Amino acid sequence: MTISLDVNGERHTVTASPDTPLLYVLRDDLQLNAAKYGCGLGQCGACTVHVDGNAVFSCLTPVAATVGRRVTTLEGLGTAEKPGILQQAFIDEQAAQCGYCIAGMIMRAQSLLSYNPSPSDEEIRQHMQPNLCRCGTHYRIIRAIKRASAVLANHQNKGDAT
């Protein structure tokens, strides 16, 4: 059937069975390849994207469930030329090793910063708990999130000053 989706602020129309995982539609129909297939069971977080601003496992979200809701993928946060604040922080901290989990990590972290711009270490660990990294880059990931948080605070202060 024909399904209309709002992804990264753009409207897309795809032909898919309503039970198709959102992940497959993003990757196969819309060529948005940041989100990765990891386990397909909601256990690893490599497929994390946002629906209405909240981090979800796109492998377990049927595409029909996202009709009328806002989907955001890593591509929606910035571009290679102009990365978003959190993306730049991950680059600055060189937080990826193989990189397979990183798109999901960034999307998970982004949802945290959107409602809590200056999280504690404990809050970061708790929030990032659903996402796994088998290379073990967790310390760098936490540093990147804290770096982005500091940049956000800096922007906030500058905004207040002007």
Partner 1 sequence: MIVVKSKRQIWLSALGIAGLVGMVTAAIIVYEPAIPPVARPSPSSFEVAEVKRGAELASIGDCVVCHSTDGGRPFAGSKALPTPFGTLYSDNITPDETTGIGNWSFAAFQRAMTRGVARDGSHLYPALPYEHFTHVDDADLQAIYAFLMTREPVKEVQPPNDLLPGLGFRPLLAGWKFLFLRKTAFVQDKTQNNEWNRGKYLVEGLGHCGGCHTPRNLLGAEEHGSDLAGGVAEGWIAPALDASNPSASRWDQASLFDYLKNGIAGAHSAAGGPMGPVAEGLSEVDDADVRAISTYIASRMKPAATPSAKTNANPAKAEGTTASKAATRTPASDAAKLFAGACGGCHMSGAPMETAGRPPLSVVSDLKMDDPRNAIKVVLGGITPAAGHGPYMPGFADALTDQQIADLLAYARSRFTDAPTWPDLAAKVSVIRKEDAK
Residues that bind partner 1 (CB under 8 A): 17-21, 40-43, 51-52, 54-57, 59-65, 69, 122, 130
Rounded to an integer, what distance in angstroms lies between the CA atom of residue 132 and that of residue 127?
Answer: 12
Residue 147, both tokens: 């770096």
Q: Which is nearer to partner 1, 56 or 86 (CB)?
A: 56
In sequence order, which residues have a C-beta less than 8 Å from that of residue 78 and are 6 or more positions away? 84, 87, 88
In the complex, the smallest distance separating the C-beta of residue 80 from partner 1, rounded to whole angstroms, is 28
In the complex, the smallest distance separating the C-beta of residue 102 from partner 1, rounded to whole angstroms, is 20
In the complex, the smallest distance separating the C-beta of residue 27 from partner 1, rounded to whole angstroms, is 15
In the complex, the smallest distance separating the C-beta of residue 52 from partner 1, rounded to whole angstroms, is 8
Rounded to an integer, what distance in angstroms lies between the CA atom of residue 106 and that of residue 35?
Answer: 10
* CB 62 within 8 Å of CB 71: no
Q: Which is nearer to partner 1, 63 or 128 (CB)?
A: 63
**First-to-final CA distance of the chain:** 51
Sheet holding 10-15, edge to edge: 10-15, 2-7, 70-72, 48-51, 54-57
